[in-house]
Amino acid sequence: MIVPIQNVFFDDEAALAMGTAFDQACVALRHFAREHEVRELIAKRIIEAARLGELDPFHLLSRAIMGF
């Protein structure tokens, strides 16, 4: 299931940083990231951090995998 995010827009630079962080998080958590729920949590954490202004892929990655 895809959960839509309303009223949030990202430019190309932000989308690239978010995509990079997501891919790296899935690699880092490769044993867990096969689960849909884990991938969704990773994405939500990255989106929330980006929404709050964080656009550095390393920091987005750090926030995504925190707690795993």
Report pLDDT digits (tens) over 9-64: 888 899 999 999 999 999 998 887 678 888 999 999 999 999 999 999 999 999 99
pLDDT at 1: 45
How far apart CA 45 and CA 61 sit, in angstroms, is: 9
The predicted model scores a pTM of 0.83
Q: Which residues, other chains included, contact 10 with Cβ-Cβ below 8 Å and sequence gap of 6+? A: 18, 50
pLDDT of residue 67: 85
- Give the list of residues 6+ apart from residue 52 with CB closer than 8 angstroms, or none: none
